[in-house]
Amino acid sequence: MTDRAPLRTEVVVIRHQKERIGKCSLRHLHGRPGFTFLKCNKAFAFDATGHLELAVDAPPLTAADRGPPLLLLDSTWRHLDALRSRIDGQTIRRSIPGRVVTAYPRTSRVFDDPPEGLASVEALYVALRILGDDDLSLLDGYYWRDEFLAGLERGGS
């Protein structure tokens, strides 16, 4: 495992109840300091006021956004709107800038993923890197780590 400094950015991950934990790209980060993992169910509600929410249809994230906690909604694209509907409060929505390409193999036969969509751990790594927490150990448990990092190098991100 790579040496890791404490994150300066608090991270809250909310996982949709139908998201399979065994396939979750963030599973290896459970229990790590600075991370809060919550599971959304029918009775779930979370006040995310002031959190930076990663979203593909938002203004680009910049280093100037540093400070608030980062909110990551962990879900298939198909269930994302249902998950987002359980989040209360006004978030600061931001997207991953540039042309970052996922290394995660896409397999959905019923729902088209957005071209700028990333695996949760990929989006988390890039977002924290932009916010000043460039920590390669975030990708230590990610099967497609090397392919993803090679893509970042090719893309200049």
Is 6 a member of any domain? no
Range of the domain at 95: 11-155
The residues, ordered by sequence, that sit 6+ positions from 74 with a Cβ below 8 Å of its Cβ are: 13, 14, 15, 16, 19, 24, 26, 120
Is 4 a member of any domain? no
Is 71 a member of any domain? yes
- C-alpha span between 100 and 156 (Å, rounded): 9
The whole model's pTM is what? Answer: 0.85
Question: How many structural domains does the chain have?
Answer: 1
Is 50 exceeded by the pLDDT of residue 100? Answer: yes
Q: What are 54-99's pLDDT values in tens digits?
A: 998 899 999 999 999 999 998 777 778 888 888 999 999 999 998 8
Is 115 a member of any domain? yes
Distance (Å) of CA 121 to CA 47, 110, 127: 23, 23, 10
Instruction: Determine the straight-line distance between the first and last CA of the chain, rounded to whole angstroms.
Output: 23
